Amino acid sequence: MIEYVTPGNIDDRVLARAVRLLGGGGLAALPTDTSWALVCSLESKAGIKKLKSLSGERDERHFTLLCNDISQFGELCSIDNTRFRLIRRLSPGPYTFILKTLLGTEKILDIRRREVGIRIPDHPVPLALIKSLASPLYSITAKQTMIGAGDMGGKNGKHPAGTLPVGGDLEIPEEDLFEADWELEAIEGLDLIISGDEEQTRTFSTILDITGDEVQVLRQGAGQWPA
**Model pLDDT for residues 5-33, shown as the tens digit of each residue:** 998 899 999 999 999 999 999 999 999 99
pLDDT tier at 102, thresholds 50, 70, 90: confident
pLDDT tier at 169, thresholds 50, 70, 90? low
Asked if residue 99 has pLDDT above 80, the reply is yes
Describe the chain by its helix, strand, coil percentages, rounded to 5: 30, 20, 50
Q: How confident is the model at residue 149 (pLDDT cuts 50, 70, 90)?
A: low
Amino acid identity of residue 79, one-letter, is: I
Reference 178, options 201, 196, 153; nearest CA is 201
Domains of the chain, each with CATH number or no CATH: 2-219 (3.90.870.10)
**Cis peptide upstream of residue 226 (ω within 30 degrees of 0):** yes
Determine the average pLDDT of the residues in 99-117.
81
Reported confidence tier of residue 120, pLDDT bands at 50, 70, 90: very high
